[in-house]
Amino acid sequence: MPKRVEDRYVLFHKPKGVTTTRFDERGGQTIYSVLGTDVDGLMPVGRLDKETTGLLLLTNDHKLADFLTSPKSGILKTYIA
Asked whether 20 and 34 are in contact (CB, 8 A), the reply is no
Q: What is the mean pLDDT of the chain?
A: 91
Task: Show which residues are catalytic.
Answer: 49
pLDDT tens across 14-40, in order?
Answer: 999 999 999 999 999 999 999 998 898
Q: Write a three-state SS string for 16-54.
A: CCCECCCCCCCCCCEHHHHHHHHHCCCEECCCCCCCCCE
Give the residue from 53, 69, 73 showing the smallest Cα distance to 61: 69
**Radius of gyration for the chain, computed over Cα atoms and rounded to the nearest angstrom:** 14
**CB–CB of 46/21 below 8 Å?**
no
